[in-house]
Every structure is written in structure tokens, then in C-alpha cells.
Amino acid sequence: MTFRLVSYATLGAAAVLGIILFALGNFGDRNDFHAELWPAYQALYAGHLRSFVSLSPSYIGAVVWRAPFALVAMALGAGWRVTYFATAVPCLAAIPLFGVWYASHGTPAPRRRQVMVLFAAVAVVDPVVWYAGILGHPEELVGAVLALAAVLFAAERRIIIALGLVALAVLNKPGLIEIVPVVVAARRAWYSGVLLALGVAGAGFYALLNLTTVFNGLHLPASLTDGGITAGGGFYPFQLLWGLGANSYLVVHEHALFPLVSVGLVGVWLLRCHLVLGPRTVTDLRREALWLAALLLLVRTALEPWDNTYYNIPFVLCLLCLDGPGVPVAAVAASLGVLLLVPTNRIIPLSPSAQAAVYAIVVIPVLGALLWRTLGPHRAPG
């Protein structure tokens, strides 16, 4: 009963504070909802299904599942700001709900209240989360939660549930497709290697298909490329490819080539599991899979030409799951680091090249530490 009351209190506090913060938030021109989703919802409300699909952005899965909330608000005469609020509040509940589930799912009883409070606090006060809300992308919270839940279920050998969750995560946000090989490998069954080999073949074909469009004039749908095969109008300095230039080969084809990087890192992790770690308990495997997910999620943002603050939400939540008792030092440090580095020029006035240098100086050592912890030839303690 106490656990249930704490759960309800946690969700209630997060919901109330979330409503207050959203009401006081800046829903100005920088909110992408007005440009990316509002035209699609207007078409849907008018009964034009084909226009709704054509006007939706690449993350159409998130547009579809949020549509009922938008339609109710529009039926009550709401404009785009109130409609956005109606579709964002359910997304805000994702993190505290995940905290309640995570606390009751393998967390020692003395730490359950602390875990729930920490996740509720992240949903309410974390600046990275609120950047997602202010900029119009609360679906990032849902995608992060689904992806991490999929990794945890896979580590517990509940692969059907894990694959279902990761499918929902990718439909909600195609950019989370790199979490798929983590889910496959976390199972550590005999067929993980087979599926990983198929993943390499599929990722290679995907990259080849994207690259050949440059020469034959074909264009893939935006839903397959998450915005196209080029960096487009977004090439920001807070990522590791800045020095190559916006028109360099790796930058133009980053979205096509990253699946190969993702599958390659997961393959090394799987090999390490079999050769170095040996048999592991479910608790140990959960942590190892979370460390792998943290590595890939950071690599994803570090190599993203169009990096945004809210792209780092899955990484921050992953560190929150890995933090031990007490203050979540890693998650807090990651949130503050993202706030300062992505984008730097809104807080610290630096030139683009200086921003890129500061970002690299901070992120490269973190990536090195994660690579060593996750893929190093040692028996990690936890």
C-alpha cells in the first residue's frame, strides 16, 4: 500500500508541476509544433487523411498517437498553443511512469522511493527535458523511455516484449533505430550472433541504398532517412564532425553510415560478453546492456550534424538508471554538460569553431571512458 501511495504521489507531483511549468513556458516561434505538426492536425481535423499523412514529419508515429489529444483540444476551440499543451502533457508523464516501473522492477526495496523521486525530479526540473518541451519535441521523452525499457526487458530474456517496445520507440522517433541491435544482443542467446550478422547486412544495404541516391537521382522517403541523406540546413558546431565541414562525405551520409557503427559496436560488445564476462546474472546483464546503450546513445548525439539539446535525453535517463544510491552524479553532470555545451553560444558567447573545440574536449574523454567500460578487455565490476 505504501509503495502504491508513493507511486501515485510521485505521478501527481510531476503532473502538477509539469502543468505549472508548461503554463509558464515560452511557446514562441522556436516551438517546432506550430510548423511541423499543427498543419497536419488541421488537415486531420478537417477530415483530410491523405493530407495529414503528407504533412506529417518523419516521426509520424508520434504524430499519430498524439492525435486524439490534439483532436479533443481542437474540438473545444483551442489554438495551436493549447493543442500543443494537450499533446505534450501525456509525454511528460512518460518519465515518472518509467520511474515507478523501474523502481518496482528489480530495484531493492529500500531504494524504491528514492528511484521514483529521482525520475519525477528529472521530469520536472531537468533543463534538458524542458528544452524538449519548449522546442516542441516532448515525444523525445516517450522514445527514450520505450528504448530503455526495451533494453531492460531484453536483458531479462523477454525478447518479444523487448522487440515490441523497441518497434514502438522507432515508430515514435526513427532516430532511435540504433537501439535495435542493443536489444537483439542483450538477449545473449545463440541466435544473437545470427541476428547481428543480418543486422550488419541490413545496415550495409541501407547505407548503400542511401549512397546510391547521390548518383542516380532517386530520393528516399523522409521517414526512412529521418530528414534526408544530407545534413540539410542543420550543421551545428556542438558535435564531433564540425571540423570536416558541412559538405564532407561523412557529414552528408552520416545518417546512412551510423547504423554500421552501431551494429559494429554491438558486435564487439557481444564478443566481449562471450569471451571475457562469461555467465552473468540477470542484474549484471541489465547493467552491462545499459552501459552499452549509454555508449551508443552518446555516440549518436556526438556524430549528429544536427545535434539538439533534447537528443541527449535517452543518454541522461540511461545514466540515471546506472547511478548508484545517493545523488545521481553521472546523470546530473550529463544534464549540466548538455545544457552548457549544446548549444554553447546561448550561455557562453563563443565562436562556432570554439564551441566545437570545447565540445570535443569534454565529450571525447567521456566517450573514451564509456568505450573502455563497455568494450574493454576486463571484467567490469558493475
| Structure confidence by residue, pLDDT tens digits, 147-180 | 999 888 888 878 788 888 888 888 888 877 777 7
Alpha-carbon distance of 34 to 70, in angstroms, equals 12
Q: What is the pLDDT of residue 69?
A: 94
Q: What is the mean pLDDT of the chain?
A: 76
Higher pLDDT: 23 or 207? It is 23
Q: What is the pLDDT of residue 379?
A: 59
Report the pLDDT averaged over residues 11-25: 58
**Cα separation of 249 and 253, whole Å?**
6
Q: Name the more confident of 5 and 36.
A: 36
State percent of the chain over pLDDT 90.
14
Distance CA 73, CA 58 (A): 23
Whether the upstream peptide bond of residue 221 has omega within 30° of 0, thus cis, is no
- Residue 21 has a pLDDT of 55
Q: What pLDDT shows up at residue 310?
A: 85
Average pLDDT of the residues in 269-282: 68
185 falls in which pLDDT band (50, 70, 90)?
low
CA distance 377 to 382: 14
Q: Is 32 exposed, middle or buried (0-12, 13-18, 19+ CB in 10 A)?
A: middle
Above pLDDT 70, what percent of the chain? Answer: 73
Residue 29: predicted pLDDT: 61
Torsion of CA 18, 24, 27, 28, to 10 degrees: -150
Q: Report in angstroms the alpha-carbon separations of 13 from 10, 20, 97, 246, 253.
A: 5, 11, 12, 44, 44
| Residue 227 per-residue DSSP state | S
Q: At what angle do helices 127-134 and 2-24 cross, to 10 degrees?
A: 50
Task: Look at residue 64 in the predicted model and tell me its pLDDT.
Answer: 92
pLDDT for res 9: 59
Q: Please report the pLDDT score of residue 43 as a whole number.
A: 94
Would you state the cell numbers that stand for residue 196, as one nine-digit string? Answer: 547481428
pLDDT of residue 112: 77
Question: How far apart (Å, rounded) are the C-alpha atoms in residues 14 and 95?
Answer: 9
In degrees, rounded to 5, the angle at the alpha carbon of residue 161 between the alpha carbons of residues 321 and 66 is 80
**CA dist., res. 274 & res. 377, Å (int):** 11
Quickly state the pLDDT bin for 325 (edges 50, 70, 90).
low
**Under 8 Å between Cβ of 284 and 155:** no
Which range of 210-214, 298-302, 342-346, 348-352 scores highest in mean pLDDT? It is 298-302
Q: What is the mean pLDDT of residues 121-149?
A: 86
Say whether pLDDT at 109 is over 50. Answer: yes
Mean pLDDT of 4-24: 59
Cell of 58: 518523419
Q: How many CB atoms are closer than 10 A to CB 292? A: 29
Is residue 22 scored above 80 in pLDDT?
no
Least confident of 13-22, 133-142, 290-299, 359-368: 13-22
Indicate whether 137 pLDDT > 60. Answer: yes
| N-terminal to C-terminal alpha carbon distance within the chain | 32
Are 10 and 117 in contact, with CB atoms under 8 Å apart? yes
**Contact indicator for 244, 363 with CB cutoff of 8 Å:** no
Please tell me the predicted confidence (pLDDT) of residue 219.
37
The pLDDT value recorded for residue 68 is 94
Point out the least confidently predicted range of 201-215, 287-301, 348-362. Answer: 201-215
For the cut 50, the answer to whether the pLDDT of residue 188 exceeds it is yes
* pLDDT recorded at residue 281: 57
pLDDT tens figures, 35-85: 889 999 999 999 999 999 899 888 888 999 999 999 999 999 888 888 998
